[in-house]
Amino acid sequence: MATYNLLLLAGDGIGPEVMAEVKRLLGFYAKKGVADFRTEEGLVGGAAYDAHNVAITEETMAKAHACDAVIFGAVGGPKWDKVSFEARPEAGLLRLRKELGLFANIRPAIVYPALADASSLKREAVEGLDIIILRELTGGVYFGEPKTITDLGNGQKRAIDTQVYDTYEIERIARVAFDLARKRRNKLTSMEKRNVMKSGVLWNEVVTQVHAREYKDVQLEHQLADSGGMNLVKSPKAFDVIVTDNLFGDMLSDIAAMLTGSLGMLPSASLGEIDVKSKKRKALYEPVHGSAPDIAGKGLANPIAMIASFGMALRYSFDMGALADKVDAAIAAVLASGLRTADIKSEGTTAVSTTQMGEAIIAELGRLSA
Ligand code: IPM
Ligand code: MG
């Protein structure tokens, strides 16, 4: 049996609650003898700050480098509003992304048939939706230098963030995007703001060149990120794969999440380059939703995005695509049976807690593998 080393970083707010459902799933796989998943746990975000005064310790970073995949919950909350910018909870996540080189963030937005009415958009607009937002994750304005606030001495301050992209960063994310598109409906939409930003001009140019050189068979279109956002809510099904930079991807993926009915539904995979020697790639799997401090500890959180994120780990890190398909099928079946956490509750459905949702998905997995 293959052995895989997982680092579980539950984080803050609802992070530990949804992570508990991943642990339940791992317990199920252990009993079934699917694979030998070995887990270690660590602190990140506000939890790490409370214990060590940093958003992630060197020791935890070392474990993240050494493991086969990081499974991440969520970080942040009002409790840490006054913490210095360097030690704020989000800094732990950003450091993981940057230092592990996780440049490719795959955020699929799928509307499960049972949830087509949970979206704020009309059923016809979202029914059957299955798109991917591919977000560049280690560059752009998130990490560009200078990143400063300077006192100008005249009662004014000046804040600077820097949007910066080099050719190689755009090329490598474009290749991931074209490869994904080839396995799907063969259509890629690239979004930037070339009408305003130099980084948008280069982004557009490089994606166009990679297409002409290596991926002529894929249908490529370019949209400005603002009207692209509009089209995403106007006719989301017109898209297949969308590739965009770090900041636009952050915004567009939250929008895409709401198309599916709730932020609690969207999983994500953050992947690094494939190492030529080991053929392995660094990876982190996390739900798109945040730590939702307002509902933390109440058993209200939806664990589906977290469980589906582990499904993505099966697919992208452990080459267990068939098992990942079963996770998705189990989620769909449980939703079809009418069970709903609070965020996706609608009339005529049955309200369940985080734990009950997790248990129901695993029971369904048991039936599917029987
Ligand atoms: C996300 C989140 C993060 C981001 C935060 C928590 C730093 O919003 O993963 O989308 O901005 O990237
Ligand atoms: Mg976000």
- Does the beta carbon of 93 lie inside 6 Å of ligand 1? yes
Burial of 289 (0-12, 13-18, 19+ CB in 10 A): buried
Q: How far apart are the first and last CA of the chain?
A: 20
Q: Which atom of ligand 1 is nearest to the CA of 254?
A: 10
Provide the edge-to-edge strand list for the sheet that holds 219-224.
36-42, 3-11, 69-74, 283-285, 269-271, 104-110, 130-136, 241-244, 187-192, 219-224
> Which pair of tokens denotes residue 93?
């996540």
The greatest distance separating any two alpha carbons of the chain, rounded to the nearest whole angstrom, comes to 72
Cβ neighbours around 306 below 10 Å, total? 32
- Does the beta carbon of 250 lie inside 6 Å of ligand 1? yes
Mutate to test the pocket of ligand 1, among 90, 133, 247 (most ligand atoms within 8 A of CB): 90
The SS3 call for residue 334 is: helix
Q: Where are the beta strands (DSSP E) in the chain?
A: 3-11, 36-42, 69-74, 104-110, 130-136, 144-151, 157-162, 187-192, 219-224, 241-244, 269-271, 283-285, 339-340, 350-351
250 C-alpha vs ligand 2 centroid, how far in Å?
5
Which residue's alpha carbon is at the smallest distance from atom 6 of ligand 1? 90
- Does the beta carbon of 161 lie inside 6 Å of ligand 1? no
Averaged over successive runs of 10 residues, the pLDDT of the chain (370 residues) comes to: 94 98 97 94 98 98 98 98 97 98 97 90 95 98 98 98 98 98 98 98 98 98 98 97 98 92 93 93 96 97 98 96 97 97 94 98 94
- Does the beta carbon of 245 lie inside 6 Å of ligand 1? no
Which residue's alpha carbon is at the smallest distance from atom 4 of ligand 1? 250
- Does the beta carbon of 251 lie inside 6 Å of ligand 1? no
Contact by Cβ (8 Å): 314, 330: no
Query: What does the buried/exposed string (b/e) look like for 44-80 if buried means 16 or more CB atoms within 10 Å of the residue's CB?
Result: bbbbbbeeeebbbbeebbebbeebbbbbbbbbbbeeb
Which residue's alpha carbon is at the smallest distance from atom 11 of ligand 1? 250
What is the pLDDT, as a whole number, of residue 370?
Answer: 81
- Does the beta carbon of 171 lie inside 6 Å of ligand 1? no
How far apart, in whole angstroms, are the C-alpha atoms of residue 262 and residue 330? 18
16 C-alpha vs ligand 2 centroid, how far in Å?
19
How far apart, in whole angstroms, are the C-alpha atoms of residue 135 and residue 284? 14
Catalytic residues: 142, 193, 226, 250, 254
231 C-alpha vs ligand 2 centroid, how far in Å?
19
- Does the beta carbon of 265 lie inside 6 Å of ligand 1? no
- Does the beta carbon of 325 lie inside 6 Å of ligand 1? no
Which residue's alpha carbon is at the smallest distance from atom 7 of ligand 1? 90
Closest CA relative to residue 203, chosen from 248, 164, 170? 170
The SS3 call for residue 360 is: helix
Which residue's alpha carbon is at the smallest distance from atom 10 of ligand 1? 250
352 C-alpha vs ligand 2 centroid, how far in Å?
26
What is the pLDDT, as a whole number, of residue 86?
Answer: 96
Which residue's alpha carbon is at the smallest distance from atom 5 of ligand 1? 90
Q: Which atom of ligand 1 is nearest to the CA of 246?
A: 12
